[in-house]
Structure 1
Amino acid sequence: MSDIAVDLDRLAEWSAGQGLTLRKPLSANRIGMGQSNLTYLVTDADGTRVVVRRPPRGTLLQSAHDVGREFRIMSALQDTPVPVPTTIGTAQPGEIEDDVPVVVMGFTEGLVLNEPGDTDGVPLDVRHAIGIDMARTLAKVHAVDLQQVGLDDLASHSPYGPRQLKRWTTQLEGSRTRDLPELDRLTQVLQANVPSDDTITLVHGDFHLRNVILDPDTGAVRAAVDWELSTLGDPLADLGSLLAYWPQRGDGPSYLFDAAAEPGFPSRDELTAAYLEASGRDGATVPFWHALGLWKIAVIIEGVRKRAMDNPSNAAKGGPPPAQMVDLLVQRAWRVVDEAGLRA
């Protein structure tokens, strides 16, 4: 089986119908570190580049890997202050791939921090600016007028915390590889401490260093990518997710991408302050959302491990994450819960 899960000849034919000429032969390379949807940089014979995204191979969990939905979100954001890639089109099943939809978007040039060493040569002031602008970009996401951009019906407007806990608990039960008593006990604590605030905005759902394309000179966010988990919900959930993905000195090992722990990058407290200043929101419930963010990443990683066990071709470069990653994320979440005094 080919490592490239996109029919490049059919892609060229489909693109012509979208007003985009891709001259054969096309080449493709898998990009990014995501282990959910598969993302490829496709280059034609003239050097034109596009990004192609499709669901993973194998059996998919219900509602997961909906590339068409994330394409709709990015399309709706084209004329807003939220930086996103240029959208080109969605190919329905049978047009490029027989069994799944495929989405195509423009290539955004910029700095991508994916692997250890990618920060080499990035000045300390630019590193700091990256974190601060990411926090401010989140505030832009949460300021989007849902009705104006046509996303008011994207998801339920019911309280977000219970929805998240229900969704990801269900996902865990469909992708569990082993007994996880500490994760299950953490679920109970989170269920007992759901905030009562019912603020509803657009949320990205998976906002972190690997999901942004940056200006290498200023650190500004040129594009936020990977909107697969985007929905309507509490804006502080996005901040909690960013904090969960933002290691800092003193955290100990986590198997997460640890670039943010290097000199120059702002601390989690600085990120929080920058976001609250830009958004004007109150941060009282941030610890809950931080803990829930860590809990959700642990559930996602367990699902990644299950998909890689079922079909090794779904694993990104370097293979699937180790079981210890889930355990360490749960331990970090417990530290946040204990420091905040949250109890079941």
Structure 2
Amino acid sequence: MDDQGLPPGDFTEVTELTGGTQNVMLRLRRGDQVYVLRRPPRHLRKRSNDALIREMRVLAALAPTPVRAPAIVAGCPDPEVLGGAVFYLMEHVDGFNATVSLPSRHAADAAIRHEMGLGAARAIAALGEVDHVAVGLGDVGNPTGFLDRQVGRWLGELDSYAAFDGYPGPDLPGVAEVADWLDRNRPSTWRPGLMHGDYHLANIMYSRAGPQVAAIVDWEMVTVGDPLLDLGWLLATWPETDGGLIRPSAIADAGGLPSRAELIACYAEHTSRDLAAIIWYRVLACFKLGIVLEGTHARACAGKAPAGIGDRLHAHAIGLLTQARSLI
């Protein structure tokens, strides 16, 4: 921090921010400034550092856009400083995670909670409208053939979990059925753009003053691909009564959220993209996220993640595949 010219002072607060299952985040105060430090998991995966370096670059590029993203303060792409992990500092966002708790004003007003849900759709639509080439991210990701390779890419990821000692293999009913449907019904045309890659309510910080989105967080899966997959992800994880909810949620328990149909209509008002195939994107989100969550279960079986989290995410993976099968 000294080398970056940041304000000096004593460290008076260092607190781990919990709730995620992958990267490590610490809130810290130095002098009069509060920061958040973000680094990859303690058990580094093959692409952990590369993903975080990409994340730093994308957040810096989004600074002048309307996208609600935390501001980068300083980044360290040298993995030797923290013994193998890259890291960065970002601004502390004065907001709250609505899946964890609600301020009294938000808890008491269903209209605020309804607007919070619509705000989630508007916020991700804004990301999909960013010209990634114009902001200097034209070489991020590999959008050519993005949709064509999704099924094979994630089936390959699922197969790779066999390398974890103690993992008995995937018990995800319907994977082959969903994969086949996705291949047969893939949209023939689409337009590349920036996508968050893991967009759901737990990755949104809301303003304490009202229903506004304060920041979208956890950008480790950001890439240039098809932004409609972000909307599909939000729909797949939306807290309705079909297994969409990923975790216990304060805002879901409070009620008042818009329906999935309202989310789609709101997104449509703020995008130039064609939503005719949105069900396909929702199915793909269920398929992909289910496989991603199963990866934590496989790592838990090998002792590289907490067993309780692995069991919980395996159950959610099954729920997502069940949702996908009902949609197709």
User: TM-score normalised by the shorter chain: which range applies?
Assistant: 0.7 to 0.9
1:324 aligned onto 2:279: no
User: Which residue number in structure 2 is paired with residue 340 of structure 1?
Assistant: none
Answering whether residue 289 of structure 2 is matched by residue 297 of structure 1, we say: yes
Residue 333, structure 1, aligned to residue 319, structure 2: no
Is the 1:35–1:315 contact (alpha carbons within 8 Å) kept by the matching residues of 2? no
> How far did 1:42 drift?
1.9
In structure 1, how many angstroms separate the alpha carbons of the residues matched to 2:33 and 2:2? 13
Task: Return the match for 2:60 from 62, 67, 75.
Answer: 75
Question: In 2, are the aligned partners of 1:111 and 1:215 still within 8 Å (CA)?
Answer: yes
Q: Deviations over 1:296-333 (max 9, x none)?
A: 11111111222333345x449x7444232221111111
Amino acid at match of 1:82: V
- Is 1:29 paired with 2:15? yes
Structure 2 Cα separation of the partners of residues 119 and 175 of structure 1: 40
CA contact (8 A) 1:32 1:210 kept: no
* Residue in structure 1 matched with residue 209 of structure 2 by the alignment: 217
- 2:243–2:320 CA contact under 8 A, matched in 1: no
- Please name the residue that 2:153 is paired with: 167
**CA deviations over 1:136-156 (Å, ceiling 9, x no partner):** 111210111222210111112
CA distance in 1, matches of 2:170, 2:229: 27
Identity fraction in percent: 31
Match of 2:133 in 1: 147
**What is the rounded CA distance, in whole Å, between the counterparts of 1:263 and 1:326 in structure 2?**
24
The alignment partner of 2:96 has SS state of coil
Q: Cα distance 1:131–1:253, how it changes in 2: closer, same or farther (>3 A)?
A: closer
1:133 aligns with 2:124: no
With normalisation by structure 1, the TM-score equals 0.84
- Aligned counterparts of 1:109 and 1:298: Cα–Cα separation in 2: 31
More off after superposition, 143-152 vs 46-55: 46-55
Q: Which deviations, in whole Å up to 9, do the C-alpha atoms of 1:10-65 show, x marking residues without a partner? A: xxxxx111121353345432214221222221233x35321111111225144687
Question: Is residue 103–residue 208 contact of structure 2 (8 Å, CA) maintained in 1?
Answer: no
Unpaired runs of 5+ residues, structure 2, are none
Residue 160 (structure 1) shift: 2.3
SS class of match (2:185): coil
Structure 1 residue identity aligned to 2:326:
R
- 2:26 maps to 1:40: yes
Structure 1 residues 43 and 171: alpha-carbon distance in aligned structure 2, compared to 1, 3 A threshold: farther
Q: CA deviation at 1:127?
A: 0.7
Cα distance in 2 for partners of 1:47, 1:113 equals: 27
| 1:194 aligned partner | 186
Match of 2:36 among 27, 47, 51: 51
In the alignment, the residues of structure 2 paired with residue 331 and residue 263 of structure 1 have an alpha-carbon distance, to the nearest angstrom, of: 24
2:170 match: 179
- The 1-side partners of 2:117 and 2:245 are apart by 19
Decide which moves more: 187-196 or 26-35: 26-35
Q: Which amino acid aligns with 2:24?
A: L
The one-letter amino acid of 1:294's match is C
- Paired residue for 1:88? 73
Are the counterparts in 2 of residues 22 and 48 from structure 1 also a CA contact under 8 Å?
Answer: no
The yes-or-no answer on 1:100 pairing with 2:93 is no
C-alpha separation in 2, matches of 1:39 and 1:65: 17
Structure-1 separation of matches of 2:289 and 2:50:
16
Q: Residues 99 and 252 of structure 2 are in contact (CA less than 8 Å); yes or no, is this contact kept in structure 1?
A: no
Question: Which letter does structure 2 place at the counterpart of 1:101?
Answer: V
Q: Distance in 1 between matches of 2:246 and 2:196?
A: 23
Q: Please, what is the CA RMSD of the aligned residues?
A: 2.4
One-letter code aligned to 2:157: Q
